[in-house]
Amino acid sequence: MIAKLQFDAAVIGGGIVGGATALFLRKAGLSVVLIDKGFCGAQASGVNYGGVRRQGRPPEQLPLAERSHALWGQLRELIGIDGEYIRSGHLKIARTAENFAKLEAYADKVRPLGLDLELMGANSVKERLPWLTGDVSGASLCHDDGQANPRLVAPAFARAARANGATVLKNTPVNAVEATGSGFALMVGGGTEIRSRLLFNCAGAWANKFAEALGEPIPLTRIYPSMVVTEPLPFRLPFSLGEEGGGFYGRQVARGNYIMGGGRGQALENPDFSRPSVMAASSVMQRAIDLFPHLQHAQVIRFWSGTEGEMPDGNPVISASTRIEGLFHGFGFCGAGFQTGPAVGAVLCDLAVNGATTTPISAFSIGRFTANHLNHEAKKGTA
Ligand SMILES: Cc1cc2nc3c(=O)[nH]c(=O)nc-3n(C[C@H](O)[C@H](O)[C@H](O)COP(=O)(O)OP(=O)(O)OC[C@H]3O[C@@H](n4cnc5c(N)ncnc54)[C@H](O)[C@@H]3O)c2cc1C
């Protein structure tokens, strides 16, 4: 016999985006079910680098990132833990004059949008990080950006949603979904049918499956950022550090381990999943040693990769459906959705409860792809 459950809102995906969405919907008084095929927070949201930065984002993402910045500041009230979140500052270094000019241009562009970056010359960088090796032309520091432990933060959003009254179904894949005219019907693992008035597609790198099933196919591809962590070493790196044009980033946690990223893992036969590549890990380590000489003899104790959704224009989809009332999408964060995740949950809740949001999100509409897709299909039809 099929068990049937009824809710105001069903959220597919228990990562930071789905967890935050469920939490805000509960706070708004809706009955909510949050469904994950595995453990909540075990995919990208729980295995990422832990960078909580606004610096470096395209200008259209800054209002969203700013709203999230405020929510990160209230993390303990929101999810009951601090998640090792600290506003350590995010330092972006440039190793050539050309790259420093890019940092200067970016700082000029985002200043009117409220993001103040401190530009510093080579001497000033050396004063703050005297052990840094190699050529450094300058850097840009965002004082209030920071870092957190994704392993702690990501599942805590789903736990907080549950503590606020959401039903959380883990190890429960959503196998099929359809619009019924008055809402949605979801067939989930264990033979349960869930009915809801509202549906939130927060399924991360798997969200294309649900968008397509509901008539909005989108060009999401999967990427597999890869991470390395060393043994604990004496504390020297107070910032989360990135390299302009270099693709390398690293931070040192209070207990001394360096966490660093930059390479890509390899897709498995089933491209939903990946494994870290030894080449990528050793190239990250080599780039780290070029900057941090004290890592020359450091032991790498773990390396891993995660599965993330990427969109062709580098922006996520945060949007009401253009086709079906009551359907909302939040996915495709292109390697940078940990910082914005809490605000994405708040925005999706705004859209569902108030019909609008004060956070500018027009650049993230799903319509920018579905319109293209429809044009493309029409052209194919007339060829
Ligand atoms: C290695 C790595 C490093 C990164 N570093 C940073 C960083 O430093 N800063 C930053 O801001 N961002 C970073 N990111 C990006 C960030 O982690 C993601 O953008 C963000 O976590 C996306 O959150 P999400 O909730 O959308 O996705 P996810 O965390 O992937 O959650 C989606 C959930 O949907 C579930 N799901 C999928 N299909 C189904 C189904 N059929 N039924 C039920 N559930 C389903 C999955 O199990 C998963 O738990 C990084 C990503 C990776 C992989």
The model's pTM? 0.96
Q: In Å, how far from its chain's centre is CA 36?
A: 17
Mean pLDDT taken over the chain? 95
The CA 15 to ligand 1 mean position distance, Å, reads 6
Is the pLDDT at 380 greater than 90, yes or no?
no
User: Which residue, judged by its Cα, is nearest atom 46 of ligand 1?
Assistant: 13
pLDDT of residue 2: 73
Position 383 pLDDT exceeds 60: no
d(CA 170, CA 159): 11
pLDDT in tens, 231-249: 999 999 999 999 999 889 9
Per-residue pLDDT at 177 exceeds 80 = yes
What does the pLDDT look like over 119-138, one tens digit per residue? Answer: 999 999 999 999 999 899 99
What CA–CA distances, in Å, run from 116 to 68, 108, 147, 342? 16, 9, 18, 22
Strand partners, 198: 9
In the chain, what percentage of residues exceed pLDDT 90?
89
Which token pair is 268?
A: 């498995």
Cα dihedral sign for 103, 150, 360, 364? positive
pLDDT > 70 fraction of the chain, expressed in percent and rounded: 96
Query: What pLDDT score was predicted for residue 372?
Result: 57
CA separation for the pair 334, 330 (Å, rounded): 12
Q: Is the CB of 334 under 6 A from ligand 1?
A: no
Does the beta carbon of 339 sit less than 6 angstroms from any atom of ligand 1? yes
Higher model confidence: residue 256 or residue 191?
A: 256
256-287 confidence digits (pLDDT tens): 999 999 989 998 888 778 898 888 889 999 99
CA of 309 to the centre of ligand 1 (A): 8
Report the distance separating Cα 14 and Cα 292, nearest Å.
36
Distance CA 62, CA 206 (A): 25
Ligand 1 pocket member 201 (CB < 6 A): no
Pocket test for ligand 1, best of 49, 64, 171, 274 (most atoms within 8 A of CB): 49
CA of 30 to the centre of ligand 1 (A): 24
- Residues 6+ positions from 98 with CB-CB distance below 8 Å: none
Q: Would you state the pLDDT for residue 130?
A: 94
List C-alpha distances in Å: 209 to 18, 185, 202, 306: 16, 15, 11, 19
pLDDT for position 285: 93
